[in-house]
Amino acid sequence: MSVQQLHGITLESLLTQLVDYYGWDQLGKRIDINCFTSDPSIKSSLKFLRKTPWARTKVEELYLETRFPN
């Protein structure tokens, strides 16, 4: 999979699926950023990820590597 395969998937949808699958604790261990480890929320994480390209890339890469159940 590549980042191009994210076309049509919103950042909010992608993040919500990751949180549902991993939970905030595991997500924070996999990607060590404060918005995942210190009082996390979808809203604050989206705000940070939209302003921080390197962090967004890490989240997108984790999403593409994750094997979600169908």
| pLDDT exceeds 90 at position 70 | no
Per-residue model confidence (pLDDT) at position 3: 57
Locate the domains of the chain by residue range.
12-65
What are the structure tokens assigned to 55, written together?
């962090």
Which tens digit of pLDDT belongs to each residue from 7-47? 889 999 999 999 999 999 999 999 999 999 999 999 999 99
Per-residue model confidence (pLDDT) at position 5: 73
Strands (E) across the chain are located at: none
Per-residue model confidence (pLDDT) at position 48: 96
Per-residue model confidence (pLDDT) at position 1: 47
27 in Cβ contact with 68 (< 8 Å)? no
Q: Which CATH fold would you assign to the domain 12-65?
A: 1.10.720
Per-residue model confidence (pLDDT) at position 39: 94
8 in Cβ contact with 24 (< 8 Å)? no
